[in-house]
Each structure stands twice: as C-alpha cells, then as structure tokens.
Amino acid sequence: MIFQRLTRIRKSRKIYLIIFMLLGIFLTGGLLGQYFSNSKSPPSDALSLGGNFTLSSAQGAVSLEQFQGKAVLIYFGYTACPDICPTTLAAIGAAMESLAQNERDATQVLFISVDPERDTPEKSQEYASYFYPSFIGLTGTLEEMALIARQYKAFYGKVEVDSELGYTVGHTGSTYVLGRDGYVRKLVSHDATPDEFASTIKEILKNT
C-alpha cells in the first residue's frame, strides 16, 4: 500500500513537473518571440559603426538620440586645426545655406572636439557656430572621447610641434552622415564640395 502511494505521488510529481516545464517553454517562447519581433535590425545600407553618446555642450549635456528624426552630420576636429577642419565645416555651412528651410530644419551638424584639454564646450560652440548658427559644438573627457572614437572607428592623436601651440591633433577627416533613424549611412570625404554635401543631405532626408 505504501509503495503504491509513493508510486502515485511520484507519478503526480512527474506530471506537475512536465506541466511546469511546458508552461515555462510556452511563456519563454512567447517572451522571446515578442522580443525578437520588436527588435530592430540595422537597415541594409547602414555602416557597421556608430551608436548613441552623450557629451557636453555650452548649454549642457547633449545626446545623439535627441536628434532622432533628423539627418545628423558628425565631424571630429578641434578649434586650433589649421586647415582640414575649417575648410570642411565651411563646405558644410555653405551646403546648409543652399538647402530649403524645411531641409535645414531637419538637419543637425555636430562638431566634436578631439582636443578636450584645450577646447571647452563654450570654445567648441563658438567655433562651430562661426560656420553656421545651428551647428553644435561638443566635447567631453578623455575617457568619453576614447569611447566615441571606438564606436565610430575614428582616430585622433597628439602630434608634437615646435610652435606656440605645443601640439596639433591628427584626426579622422571624413564627415559621418546619419539617417533619421540614427544609423550611419555615409562617410563624406574632407575634400567634398558644398554641392556634394547638399546632395548627400537631401538623399539622406529623402531615403531614411
């Protein structure tokens, strides 16, 4: 009798265990299915780099995700740059001037200083807005800059020089162009013309 009762108890436990296992599989499968159905895959034309970040501006903290819905151009440079930075930013500024008002409103340019030891948020903003009023100048700590450089596969580094500057900064010269969804779609060469920048912005606004 006792053995039969134990056998029935064991069978009952097995049944309950199977029920709980099936219930767990059902719930887990449902949650996983919901997760994967809601997750977004990068668009096919997105480059395998980039990501959100938060840096300091003259007005406080600024995050890339604030500009969702806009085309975003990111340029890494520094305010004491003697050539490539001013020529590139001037070309982007001229491109902005050529756009229609609704296109300008839907585009944000971020100048990120890779010389945080000398470029304060205020100095970066003053420099950026010289080329176009809506440009935003950003900078951060050395650690923050290193992280963003890894995200965007950008490079920068001090180059010692025999002048009052003490050093210059070698850096990536391309401009990163992000779609309205925040994904990097293009890298535009430092020698691009205003017309080429304008054409790229129009294309990004139309297709993302």
User: What CA–CA distances, in Å, run from 178 to 34, 61, 149, 168, 171?
Assistant: 28, 20, 16, 28, 19
Mean pLDDT of the chain: 84
Greater model confidence, 37 or 160: 160
Q: How far apart are CA 95 and CA 85, in angstroms?
A: 15
Question: Mean per-residue pLDDT for 12-23?
Answer: 39
The pLDDT, as a whole number, for residue 26 is 36
CA-angle at 196, arms to 194 and 201, nearest 5°: 95
The one-letter amino acid at 95: A
Q: 110-158, pLDDT tens digit by residue?
A: 999 999 999 999 999 999 999 999 999 999 999 999 999 999 999 999 8
15 or 130: whose pLDDT is higher?
Answer: 130
- Are residues 153 and 49 in contact, defined by beta-carbon separation less than 8 angstroms? yes
Query: Domain 54-207: which topology?
Result: Glutaredoxin (3.40.30)
For the chain, the domains span 1-39, 54-207
Cα(20)–Cα(44) distance, rounded to whole angstroms? 41
Q: CA-to-CA distance for 173 and 176, rounded, in angstroms?
A: 10
- Whether 131 contacts 96, CB under 8 Å: no
Q: Is 122 exposed, middle or buried (0-12, 13-18, 19+ CB in 10 A)?
A: middle
CB-CB neighbours of 135 under 10 Å: 22
Q: How confident is the model at residue 63 (pLDDT cuts 50, 70, 90)?
A: very high
Q: What would the two tokens of residue 43 be?
A: 């668009």
Report the pLDDT value the prediction gives residue 5, as an integer from 0 to 100: 42
